[in-house]
């Protein structure tokens, strides 16, 4: 009986990190971008994109739902105030009939794409916002 209890306890200890990891798993962030857009010199097609935060709040990965398109995005923090409720979004700057990913607001606060950081915040007709949803 003592061996059984020891084996059971050891099994639980080994499974604990797996259980905790599954419980702490973040929801998937997605954005349906209705237009082709640019990140730096890279053109990405319109479509549904998954936003994957990787190891850092200043770096994320955009991957199309069909997994044919992927792009790393480096950002700089504007502030650390997290978006609330349905306020998470991607912000695009519109210039020369092109949409450029400017930045976004999400769980890590407001961020601006490094390549766009010297430009003023887009507004009015020069700006398009796309809602980010979490599933």
Q: Position of tokens 């319109």?
A: 46
Of 93, 97, 94, 47, the C-alpha closest to 70 is: 47
> Which H or E run contains 18?
helix 2-23
Rounded Cα gap, residues 96 and 12, in angstroms: 59
Determine contact, residues 83/89, Cβ cutoff 8 Å. Answer: yes
Residue 22's pLDDT band, with cuts at 50, 70 and 90, is very low
Specify the pTM.
0.78
In the beta sheet, which residues pair with residue 59?
Answer: 74
| pLDDT score for 116 | 96
Q: For 37-88, what is each residue's pLDDT tens digit? A: 999 899 999 999 999 976 677 888 999 999 999 999 999 999 999 988 789 9
């Amino acid at each position: 009986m003592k061996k059984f209890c020891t084996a059971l306890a050891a099994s639980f200890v080994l499974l604990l990190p797996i259980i905790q990891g599954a419980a702490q798993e973040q929801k998937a962030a997605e954005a349906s971008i209705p237009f082709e857009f640019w990140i730096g010199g890279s053109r990405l097609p319109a479509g549904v994109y998954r936003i994957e935060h990787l190891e850092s709040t200043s770096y994320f990965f955009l991957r199309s739902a069909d997994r044919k398109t992927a792009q790393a995005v480096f950002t700089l923090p504007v502030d650390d105030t997290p978006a609330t409720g349905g306020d998470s979004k991607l912000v695009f700057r519109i210039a020369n009939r092109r949409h450029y990913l400017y930045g976004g607001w999400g769980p890590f606060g407001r961020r601006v794409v490094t390549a766009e950081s010297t430009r003023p915040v887009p507004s009015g007709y020069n700006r398009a916002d796309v809602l980010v949803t979490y599933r």
